[in-house]
C-alpha cells in the first residue's frame, strides 16, 4: 500500500509537470503555427522528428538495459555500470554525428532542404546533448526509481526550450535558424547540469571500458535499436515521403493533426515511465501478482486520460484548430477521423510491449516493429503519391492496428486483467456522458471554447465518481490527499 501511495504521488507530480509541459508546448504549437509559414512549419516538423529519431537510435537501447539490469541493486553497482555505458555512448555519438556532419549537404539536397544548413547543424548538436542527457535521465535516474526527478528533467530536456522561443516571438521576429539555436543552447545548459549532478553522484567519466558489459548491454539493446528505429520510422517516414512527393505544405497539414493527437499519446508514455521500474522490481523479486496489479493500474490510468482526451478533441476539432492556429489549418480536418484512434492503439501496444520487455523478449518486440515499419513504408509509397496526406493517415492507422494486433496475440496471456479494479464500464460511461454534454455546445469565441473544455473536464470527473470508477482504496487516498493539501 505504501508503494502504491508513492506511485500515486509520483503520478500526481507527473500531472502537475505535464500540465505545465502541455501548456508550454501547446502555446509553442499555437505560436509556431501562427508566426511560421505553412511551409516552414512543415520543415520544422521534419527536423523535429529527425531529433526524435536519431536521439533514440544513438542510445542503442542501453538506457532500457541499465534499468532492466540494475533496478533494485546497490548504489555503487548502479553508478559503476552507468559510467561504463555513458562513456561508450559519448564516444560513439561523437563518431556517428561527426560522420553525418561531413555528409550533411548531400542529405539535405535529397529532400530539397539545402537552405537550412545552419538549422541542420544545430539539430545535430541538439541530438548529441539530448542523447546523453536522456541516457542519464531514462537510464540512471529511472533505475533508482527517482521518478519525480525523471519527470522533471524530461520536461526540461523536451519542453523548456519552448519558453525562450515564445518570449523571443513577443519582441523579435523568429525563423528556423533562431529557433533551433535557442533549442540547442537550452539543452546544452541542461546537459551540463546533468553532468555536474552525476559527478556529485561519483560517476567516473574516465572509467575503463568493460567490453563484456558493453557487449551484454548491446545484446539486450541491439533488438531495441531496431525497435526504436522501427517506432520512429513509423512516426517519421510518412513526413519524409510526403515532403518528397508533395512538398512541405502537405507535411505541415498532416503534421498538424498528428501533433494535436500526439499531445494525448504523451500522457500514456509518461504513465508507463512511472510504473515500469516498479513493475521490473516486482518481477525481479518474483512478485508476479504485484507486477500484474501494477500493469492493471497503468492500463486504467492511461485509458482514464487518453480516451476522454481523444473523444473531446474529435468533437471540438474545428473549434480547437481555429482557436489555436486560425483557419489556415482547417484544410487538414478531413484526416482527423482517420488518425484519431492512433493514441489509443499505441497506448495498448505499449502495455503489451512492456510485458514482453520484462521477460527479455526484445527480439520478439523488434520483429513486430520491423513488420510494422516495413508495412508502413510500403503503404506510404503506395498511397502518398496519389492520395497525399490522406494516404499518409491511412498508412499510419493501418500500421498501428496491425502492430497492436500482433502484440495482443503474442502477449495476451501475460496480463490477467482485474476488471473489478480497472472499472472499464464506468470509464466508458463517463466518456459518453462528457461527449454528449459538449457535443451540444458550438463555441465561437475564445472564452466560450475554453469554458467548454473546462466544462467537459468537470463533467467527466463528476461522472467518474458517480459511476464508481475508483475502488475504495483509491477514494480513501484521494480524500486524504485533498485534506492534507487543504
pLDDT tens track for 175-217: 888 899 999 999 999 999 999 988 887 777 777 878 888 888 8
Helix axes 62-70, 211-246, angle to 10 degrees: 140
pLDDT tier, 482 (very low <50, low <70, confident <90, very high otherwise): very low
3-class state of residue 72 by DSSP: coil
Sign of the alpha-carbon dihedral angle for 207, 211, 212, 214: positive
Is residue 165 within 8 Å of 28, Cβ to Cβ?
A: yes
Q: How many CA atoms lie within 13 A of 142 on its CB side?
A: 28
Confidence of residue 11 (pLDDT cuts 50, 70, 90): low
Please check whether residue 358 is in contact with residue 277, taking contact to mean a CB–CB distance below 8 angstroms.
Answer: no
| pTM (global) more than 0.75 | no
pLDDT at residue number 474? 62
Query: What is the rounded CA–CA span in Å between residue 190 and residue 322?
Result: 35
Band of pLDDT at residue 36, cut at 50, 70 and 90: confident
In the chain, what are the domain boundaries?
2-422
pLDDT tens column, 358-377:
787 877 888 888 899 899 99
Quick one: pLDDT at residue 26?
A: 75
Identify the H or E element spanning 62.
Answer: helix 62-70
Amino acid at each position: 500500500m505504501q508503494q502504491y501511495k508513492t506511485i500515486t504521488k509520483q503520478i500526481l507530480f507527473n500531472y502537475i509537470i505535464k500540465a505545465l509541459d502541455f501548456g508550454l508546448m501547446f502555446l509553442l504549437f499555437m505560436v509556431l503555427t501562427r508566426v511560421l509559414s505553412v511551409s516552414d512549419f512543415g520543415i520544422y516538423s521534419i527536423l523535429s522528428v529527425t531529433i526524435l529519431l536519431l536521439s533514440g537510435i544513438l542510445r542503442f537501447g542501453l538506457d532500457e538495459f541499465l534499468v532492466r539490469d540494475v533496478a533494485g541493486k546497490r548504489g555503487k553497482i548502479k553508478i559503476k555500470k552507468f559510467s561504463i555505458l555513458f562513456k561508450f555512448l559519448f564516444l560513439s555519438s561523437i563518431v556517428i554525428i561527426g560522420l553525418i556532419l561531413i555528409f550533411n549537404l548531400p542529405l539535405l539536397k535529397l529532400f530539397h532542404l539545402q537552405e537550412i544548413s545552419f538549422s541542420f547543424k544545430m539539430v545535430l548538436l541538439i541530438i548529441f546533448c539530448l542523447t546523453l542527457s536522456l541516457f542519464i535521465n531514462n537510464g540512471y535516474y529511472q533505475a533508482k526509481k527517482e521518478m519525480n526527478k525523471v519527470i522533471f528533467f524530461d520536461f526540461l530536456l523536451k519542453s523548456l526550450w519552448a519558453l525562450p522561443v515564445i518570449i523571443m516571438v513577443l519582441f523579435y521576429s523568429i525563423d528556423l535558424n533562431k529557433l533551433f539555436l535557442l533549442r540547442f543552447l537550452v539543452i546544452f545548459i541542461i546537459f551540463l547540469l546533468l553532468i555536474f549532478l552525476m559527478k556529485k553522484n561519483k560517476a567516473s567519466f574516465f572509467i575503463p571500458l568493460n567490453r563484456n558489459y558493453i557487449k551484454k548491454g548491446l545484446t539486450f539493446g541491439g533488438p531495441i535499436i531496431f525497435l526504436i528505429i522501427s517506432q520512429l520510422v513509423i512516426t517519421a517516414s510518412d513526413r519524409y515521403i510526403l515532403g518528397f512527393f508533395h512538398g512541405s505544405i502537405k507535411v505541415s497539414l498532416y503534421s498538424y493533426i498528428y501533433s494535436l493527437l500526439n499531445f494525448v499519446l504523451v500522457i500514456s508514455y509518461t504513465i508507463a515511465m512511472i510504473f515500469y521500474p516498479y513493475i521490473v522490481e516486482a518481477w525481479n523479486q518474483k512478485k508476479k501478482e504485484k507486477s500484474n496489479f501494477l500493469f492493471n493500474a497503468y492500463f486504467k490510468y492511461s485509458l482514464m486520460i487518453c480516451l476522454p482526451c481523444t473523444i473531446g478533441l474529435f468533437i471540438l476539432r474545428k473549434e480547437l484548430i481555429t482557436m489555436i492556429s486560425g483557419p489556415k489549418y482547417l484544410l487538414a480536418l478531413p484526416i482527423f477521423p482517420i488518425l484519431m484512434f492512433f493514441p489509443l492503439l499505441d497506448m495498448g501496444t505499449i502495455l503489451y510491449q512492456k510485458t514482453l520487455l520484462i521477460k527479455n523478449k526484445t527480439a520478439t518486440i523488434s520483429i513486430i516493429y520491423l513488420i510494422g515499419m516495413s508495412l508502413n513504408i510500403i503503404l506510404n509509397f503506395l498511397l502518398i503519391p496519389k492520395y497525399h496526406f490522406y494516404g499518409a493517415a491511412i498508412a499510419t492507422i493501418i500500421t498501428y492496428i496491425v502492430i497492436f494486433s500482433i502484440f495482443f496475440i503474442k502477449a495476451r496471456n501475460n496480463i490477467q486483467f482485474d476488471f473489478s479494479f480497472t472499472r472499464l464500464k464506468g470509464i466508458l460511461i463517463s466518456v459518453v456522458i462528457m461527449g454528449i454534454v459538449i457535443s451540444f455546445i458550438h463555441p465561437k469565441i475564445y472564452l466560450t471554447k475554453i469554458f467548454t473544455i473546462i466544462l467537459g473536464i468537470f463533467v467527466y470527473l463528476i461522472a467518474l465518481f458517480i459511476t464508481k470508477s475508483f475502488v475504495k482504496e483509491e477514494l480513501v487516498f484521494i480524500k486524504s490527499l485533498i485534506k492534507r493539501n487543504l
